[in-house]
Amino acid sequence: MNTCAQTLVNPSALPAVASDSAPRRLPGDLAIWFFILAELLAFGAFFIAYAFARANNVELFNAQQLALDRNAGAINTMLLLTSSYLVVRAVQAAEAGQGRGAAKWIVGGFACGAGFIVVKLFEYAAKFAAGVSLSSSTFHMFYLILTFFHFMHVILGLVILAALWNGARKGRYGPGNMNGIETGAAYWHMVDLVWLILFPLVYVMR
Amino acid sequence: MQPQRSSALALHHSDHGTPLRATVIWVVLIAATIVTWSVGETGAAGPAIVGLLFSIAFGKGTMIILDYMALRRAPLMWPLLALGWMTLVCALIGIAYWKGLAA
Amino acid sequence: MKYSSQSVAMPYFIAAIGLFVGQIIFGLAMGLQYVVGDFLFPAIPFNIARMVHTNLLIVWLLFGFMGATYFLVPEEAETELYSPKLALVMFWVFLLAGAATILGYLLVPYATLAEMTGNNILATMGREFLEQPLLTKIGIVIVALAFLFNITMTMLKGRKTVISIVLLMGLWGLAIFFLFSFYNPGNLVKDKFYWWWVVHLWVEGVWELIMAAILAFVLIKVTGVDREVIEKWLYVIITLALVTGLIGTGHHYFWIGTPAYWQWLGSVFSALEPIPFFAMTVFAFNMVNRRRREHPNKAAVLWALGTGVMAFLGAGVWGFLHTLAPVNYYTHGSQITAAHGHMAFYGAYVLVVLTMISYAMPLLRGRAANDERAQVCEMWGFWLMTISMVFITLFLTAAGILQVWLQRVSSTPMPFMAVQEQISLFYWMRLWAGVVFAAGLVTYLASFFVKGESKPLIHA
């Protein structure tokens, strides 16, 4: 009981369920990790560009940021986090030898990702109706470029999840064959990771 | 004291943690998001608030990188690269924010 | 050579090298015109020499790409070429059209050439790199379609590998983006906007796919590394090349009248364009280090590694130097652009075509590799050309920095021609480096004629 309460408060106190003798291993394909690093660089460059452009235009950025839909942003954060969680469960299912069971988890992850797309489209529609465009202000330009660049990544991630679902349904993944599902999952978590910075940076920081 | 568990682990070692661990992390991530969102709703500003926001973001990112991406068990270079990226980005955002305050 | 129809690559390679020689001759003439302004005037003024120099480059690289494709695709598809006859007919059509166009540039005033070739029906001429008369442009489209038809049919009846699919994507992209050369709106901003869809999306987009595919093919052959490993790298490289290259077009949109957001999009994405080139460098060295066999053709391995390094330096590093909008504000259209252009084209595209020629030519001539002495001669050619190109780039960079300083940054800016006078020393040094390059080219040509015992043909 005691340890259980502790672990709930502090997740890092939970034992990482891996025997310490197991060699360190990069999950998924090496190629996807190079790709993820390149993606992180691209997003990082944009985040830093945003921050410094803001430093030269604090008042404009603060004023126009207030008009953003923070509720939509927060809901989307939760959708991506939940989706990531469900994909982790899918990977764990595959690792436990329930390759076909993974498919159900992936459907859930896909649904959350699709929910992100829907919320984002409503958000964009409202912004465009309000006259926001790439040329309407420096803040709007960054808002659109950053979120749209990320939006495209969500779409690509969904395509990858669909492929994983297809593979899982056919029972392709299991303890002996984790490469495919780990590769796709790593990409999907990256899409989540960059949003975790994007949301406070663009929607909240003032 | 988990003798039975570790003997089971010898048969099946995991790189992706347990469902319980993943679920606890998910709860923490959602709770942290609610904090960030409510800060936004109050319209609070200033270095302390921004420090809080990015500490939360950093903590969330660390959980994603180490646990969800499962880099905890990867060769050290990989978690360090990902965490280094996040540190650099957050630090530069902080510097830019500071520059904006001075201006 | 495994399939007899691969031999159609031979005339393409020979034509490519021949036109390369022509390009260098005009390059030397222009190098001299930089410092002796009336050299060859009025017979071949600078603007004509420049047009011939750049057009020859594009045409010989296209010959090289086609030759490389005719060699590569049958071997990858494991079947004979769909129609070797069509390939040979198209070779002569392309060569004659190219030769006629160059002669037109040299013998007839450009305005007359435009009138003679129907430019008043559909005006497409007069734009940098797209100077070709309408008839030539239509000819290029016909040749490209026949070529793509031939290659696509070959692939459809044979094995489809990642390498040949990537190559084909690049070639189709090349043909499709060329169609924008027919679109010439009256609005100068729009004109420039779409002009880059040919120029930039070729060299910083689809050509990179062609380059990566050719490099991957040669690396598989000379290192014996598993195809699976090479294919993974190929996926990463082409995705990075497309993502950075497509939006990176924005770095040409800074000062031509397009919306301001292009300064951000162009700066950020083009700043990432070195990444795929860096990946290619790592890829080439990684594969050679993990090689499973010692291929007798050492020269081909050297060309492949040279491609990896020089493409990253020329296209990656020298491109990055002046790609950020605040830097480009000062350096735009200066000698720094010329420095980048020279090393990028040499490092990426000249070297990848020569890599393929180096690998394929001995096979086409019935041996696995050339005699030791011929290879040494060829490697001398590589080093002379590569080192002198490094110096050409450095001298032009120095000239460019000085030019930007005196003409644009200084509080008392000097006029253009006065600045040119100031930097003429660097132009002289560039010219001498160019002479060494020409010597390297002659050495390279000589390597084809060095006789000796040939290595027996082994099937890779």
Whether A25 is covered by a domain: the verdict is no
- List phi, psi (to 5°) of B36: -60, -45
Report CB contact under 8 Å: B61, A196: yes
pLDDT at B7: 36
Across A139-163, average pLDDT? 96
pLDDT at C245: 94
The single-letter code of the amino acid at A12 is S
Q: How confident is the model at residue A105 (pLDDT cuts 50, 70, 90)?
A: very high
Task: Answer whether C414 touches A (CB < 8 Å).
Answer: no
Residues of A in contact with C235 (CB under 8 A): 31
Angle formed by the axes of helices A179-198 and B47-63, nearest 10°: 180
Domain range summary for chain C, segments of one domain joined by +: 1-160
CA distance linking residue C66 with residue A46, whole number of Å: 39
pLDDT at C457: 61
pLDDT at A21: 60
Q: How confident is the model at residue C22 (pLDDT cuts 50, 70, 90)?
A: very high
Domain range summary for chain B, segments of one domain joined by +: 18-102
Across A5-31, average pLDDT? 61
Across C188-193, average pLDDT? 96
pLDDT at C233: 86
Report CB contact under 8 Å: A201, B9: no
Across A47-63, average pLDDT? 95
Across C232-236, average pLDDT? 87
CATH number at residue A175: 1.20.120.80
Closest alpha carbon to B71 in A28, A77, A89, A184:
A28
Question: Taking 60 as the threshold, does the pLDDT of residue C57 lie above it?
Answer: yes
* Residue with the larger pLDDT of the pair A9 and C117: C117
Question: Taking 90 as the threshold, does the pLDDT of residue C295 lie above it?
Answer: yes
pLDDT at B13: 57
CA distance linking residue C12 with residue C14, whole number of Å: 6
Across A78-106, average pLDDT? 96
pLDDT at C459: 52
DSSP, res C456: P
Which of A36, A142, A145 best probes binding to C when mutated, by most C CB atoms within 10 angstroms?
Answer: A145
Report CB contact under 8 Å: A85, B22: yes
> Could you tell me the sign of the dihedral formed by the alpha carbons of A17, A22, A28, A30, in that order?
positive
* Residue with the larger pLDDT of the pair A12 and C298: C298
CA of A135, closest CA in chain C: separation in Å? Answer: 7
Question: Taking 70 as the threshold, does the pLDDT of residue B63 lie above it?
Answer: yes
Q: How confident is the model at residue C456 (pLDDT cuts 50, 70, 90)?
A: low
Question: Taking 50 as the threshold, does the pLDDT of residue C452 lie above it?
Answer: yes
Residues of A in contact with B52 (CB under 8 A): none
Across A185-204, average pLDDT? 97
Query: pLDDT averaged over chain C?
Result: 95
CA distance linking residue A66 with residue A189, whole number of Å: 29
Q: Do chains C and B touch (3 or more CB pairs under 8 A)?
A: no
Across A79-90, average pLDDT? 98
CA of C347, closest CA in chain A: separation in Å? Answer: 23
Whether A29 is covered by a domain: the verdict is no
Angle formed by the axes of helices A30-55 and B77-102, nearest 10°: 10
> How many domains does the structure of chain A reveal?
1
CA distance linking residue C411 with residue C414, whole number of Å: 9
Across C239-251, average pLDDT? 93
Residues of A in contact with B86 (CB under 8 A): 197
Q: How confident is the model at residue C454 (pLDDT cuts 50, 70, 90)?
A: low
Ranking A22-36, A72-86, B17-31, C36-50 by mean pLDDT, the lowest is: A22-36
Question: Taking 50 as the threshold, does the pLDDT of residue A9 lie above it?
Answer: no
Task: Answer whether A84 touches B (CB < 8 Å).
Answer: yes
The single-letter code of the amino acid at C103 is L
CA of C38, closest CA in chain A: separation in Å? Answer: 48
Q: How confident is the model at residue C251 (pLDDT cuts 50, 70, 90)?
A: very high
- Extract the tokens encoding C352: 């990848």
Which of B4, B89, B92, B97 best probes binding to A when mutated, by most A CB atoms within 10 angstroms?
Answer: B89
Q: How confident is the model at residue C129 (pLDDT cuts 50, 70, 90)?
A: very high
As beta bridge partners, residue A174 has A177
